[in-house]
């Protein structure tokens, strides 16, 4: 949510800020703005409601805003409606302090009232303006420097934030502070950068620092200095980002989403190759030892959105292969129900960004109770990765489209590997079965490629769905988990109402919604449940539903009951989600295109939900 970019160096700042913000559009936003310190040491602030192109037009692509030190922001409204006034950057009336902010300040109303009593006035409805003016208040009242003023502010505010500031009295410097909201600092060739996510600055540097919770920093063109909450200087190591800058570009595809769908064979193969060596799963770098695995009495899969759906698949696979009890929990609910946790349980946190606020809070709740935690994340150095006891990285690379595709597929692979290793070390898989399952996983990339080669049939069928108002997905077991992800993909980018139901639940109320013209998509990849789901599909069709069946090659009897059938290559049913999800991703993409919508940036959504 929201995006931050800042730069101080020798080059014009505004074009760099606008370019960086364009790389963060996927995070979701409703307005944008930049603040640049010009050659007269005065701040020029330009803001625009709507898309970034409006800000680019107002600034002539940044050429109309001179200066080599500046900050920029794309805003996703939390406090205050989307408007130019509420857009960031915000400043004090005398332009002494100018700043941008990601996150939510929970006690901003209380602080606002205090500052009004001290003579401050407010022009916006935002919590960010309150923070900027609180820093200014401490800076002036105690006649102290930026670090001390920021530290006093950090102690006073409650909530989450990535805060980036410029001070009138400190030309050529940018000051930063962080609590919970993501932030990275980069340095390269006489310039320093700050951003809320890697793609914003990847074009300019691959050398970054990860600033921790309750830490602050000072950026100049010569480098970065970091401080703890007591104002003491602390040392940090530079980390090299391995992603190529080109990986965050469209590379000839019309949208990031379709590019990322086509990248799935590669990311699945790379995730496998990272964790499978010489035909055996190798978790030695993770630190997940045989002793730890055998000590686990139960597992919680905790995640949000698509990552939660990946966790539901993992639940079925882990229980089947490792015979260990697994519960899948929504991270946003996990800590609020005061969970009863056993010290020998393992909490698995699944998150693409590694910054998901609810998932991070769930991890911290587990750690306060002394429970072991394992993170399945895509972003190296992210908050969840740093705080978990063990980290299993997916190799999806940068994912730009808001609707996840390749990161979800990489999460599934991580879950399969984890399940197989648990099953082997806990004595439920012999050597032959262990080897067979790993070889089966290694067939997935080529099988996804085969599905993608036949995508024109999906594109044709999407035309029939584009005017739908309600679509239902039904399946059993792992097929139900596949339906959950397919339904989410469709609704989040096409805005068509859709629901996923465990097929056996239809007759317990839901079937009353089935009528002539309703679209029903049935997923039938689980051999043991095939006939039961066929019966449920027929029940829907007999009530007037138009039916699509998604099944494996060889199950041609589906055509007797479905109006349209999509086939995927045969695979062990435990791993069917990796194949069956691809036609559903394509279907959602093409339906959205047919409806003329913004595929990569659906309304009201953000790529990484970093606030509750």
Positions annotated as catalytic residues are 2, 607
Please give the backbone phi and psi of residue 382, each rounded to the nearest 5 degrees, phi first: -70, 165
- Rounded to whole angstroms, the Cα distance separating 210 from 238 reads 8
DSSP string for residues in 438-458: HHHHTTHHHHHHHHHHTHHHH
Reported residue count of the chain is 612
Strand order in the sheet with 546-552: 497-502, 470-475, 519-524, 546-552, 564-568
Give the closest residue to 127 by CA, choosing from 157, 150, 168, 98.
Answer: 157
The torsion of the CA quartet 151, 157, 161, 167, rounded to 10 degrees, works out to -50
86: exposed, middle or buried (C-beta count within 10 Å: 0-12, 13-18, 19+)? buried
44 close to 35: Cβ distance less than 8 angstroms: yes
Give the closest residue to 506 by CA, choosing from 490, 522, 528.
Answer: 522
- Rounded to whole angstroms, the Cα distance separating 110 from 599 reads 40
- Rounded to whole angstroms, the Cα distance separating 324 from 315 reads 9
Assign residue 352 a region (left: φ > 0; alpha: ψ between -120 and 50; beta: otherwise): alpha
Distances (CA, A) of 171 to 4, 18, 39, 168: 20, 21, 10, 6
Beta bridge partners of 35: 45, 71
Q: Strand 519-524 and strand 546-552: pairing?
A: parallel
What tokens appear for 612 in the block?
């509750």
Through-space distance between the first and last CA atoms of the chain, rounded to whole angstroms:
11
The torsion of the CA quartet 357, 20, 26, 81, rounded to 10 degrees, works out to 70
Please give the backbone phi and psi of residue 462, each rounded to the nearest 5 degrees, phi first: -60, -30
For helices 264-275 and 444-453, give the axis angle rounded to 10 degrees: 180
Give the closest residue to 576 by CA, choosing from 481, 450, 455.
Answer: 481
Distances (CA, A) of 217 to 12, 109, 173, 234: 22, 27, 10, 10
């Amino acid at each position: 949510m929201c995006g931050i970019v800042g730069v101080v160096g020798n080059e014009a700042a505004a074009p760099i800020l606008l370019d960086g913000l364009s790389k963060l559009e996927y995070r979701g936003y409703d307005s944008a703005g930049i603040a640049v310190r010009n050659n007269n040491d005065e701040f020029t602030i330009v803001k625009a409601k709507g898309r970034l192109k409006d800000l680019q037009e107002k600034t002539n692509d940044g050429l109309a805003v001179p200066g080599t030190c500046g900050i920029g922001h794309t805003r996703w409204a939390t406090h205050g409606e989307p408007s130019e006034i509420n857009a960031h950057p915000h400043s004090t009336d005398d332009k002494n302090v100018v700043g941008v902010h990601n996150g939510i300040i929970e006690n901003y109303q209380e602080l606002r009232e205090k500052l009004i009593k001290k003579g401050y006035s407010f022009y916006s409805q935002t919590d960010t303006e309150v923070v900027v003016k609180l820093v200014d208040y401490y800076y002036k009242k105690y006649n102290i420097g930026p670090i001390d003023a920021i530290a006093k502010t950090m102690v006073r505010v409650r909530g989450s934030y990535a805060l980036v500031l410029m001070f009138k009295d400190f030309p050529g410097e940018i000051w930063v502070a962080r609590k919970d909201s993501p932030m990275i600092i980069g340095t390269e060739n006489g310039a320093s950068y700050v951003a809320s996510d890697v793609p914003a600055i990847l074009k300019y540097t691959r050398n970054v620092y990860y600033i921790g919770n309750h830490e602050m920093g000072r950026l100049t063109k010569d480098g970065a200095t970091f401080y703890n909450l007591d104002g003491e200087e602390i040392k940090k190591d530079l980390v090299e980002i391995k992603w190529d800058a080109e990986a965050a570009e469209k590379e000839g595809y019309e949208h990031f989403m379709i590019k990322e769908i086509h990248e799935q064979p590669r990311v699945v193969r790379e995730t496998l190759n990272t964790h499978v060596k010489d035909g055996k799963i190798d978790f030695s770098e993770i630190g997940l030892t045989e002793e730890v695995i055998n000590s686990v009495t139960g597992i919680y899969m905790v995640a949000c959105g698509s990552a939660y759906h990946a966790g539901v698949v993992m639940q079925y696979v882990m229980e089947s292969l490792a015979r260990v009890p697994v519960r899948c929990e929504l991270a946003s609910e996990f800590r609020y129900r005061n969970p009863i946790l056993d010290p020998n349980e393992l909490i698995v946190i699944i998150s693409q960004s590694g910054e998901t606020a609810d998932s991070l809070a769930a991890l911290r709740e587990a750690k306060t109770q002394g429970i072991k935690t394992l993170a399945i994340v895509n972003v190296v150095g992210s908050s969840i990765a740093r705080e978990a006891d063990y980290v299993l990285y997916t190799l999806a690379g940068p994912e730009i489209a808001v609707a996840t595709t390749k990161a979800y597929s990489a999460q599934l692979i991580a879950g399969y590997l984890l399940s197989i290793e648990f099953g082997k070390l806990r004595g439920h898989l012999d050597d032959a079965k262990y080897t067979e399952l790993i070889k089966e996983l290694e067939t997935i990339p080529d099988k996804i490629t085969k599905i993608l080669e036949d995508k024109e049939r999906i594109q044709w069928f999407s035309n029939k769905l584009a005017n739908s108002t309600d679509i239902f997905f039904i399946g059993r077991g792992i097929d139900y988990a596949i339906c959950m992800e397919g339904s989410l993909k469709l609704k989040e980018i096409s805005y068509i109402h859709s629901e996923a139901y465990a097929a056996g639940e239809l007759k317990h109320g839901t079937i009353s919604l089935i009528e002539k013209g309703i679209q029903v998509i049935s997923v039938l990849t689980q051999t043991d449940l095939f006939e039961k789901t066929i019966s449920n599909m027929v029940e829907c069709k007999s009530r007037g539903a138009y039916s699509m069946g998604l099944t494996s090659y060889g199950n041609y009897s589906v055509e007797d009951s479905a109006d349209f059938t999509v086939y995927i290559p045969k695979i062990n049913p435990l791993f069917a989600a990796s194949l069956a999800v691809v036609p559903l991703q394509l279907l959602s993409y093409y339906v959205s295109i047919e409806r003329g919508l913004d595929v990569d940036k659906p309304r009201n959504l953000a790529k990484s939900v970093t606030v509750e």
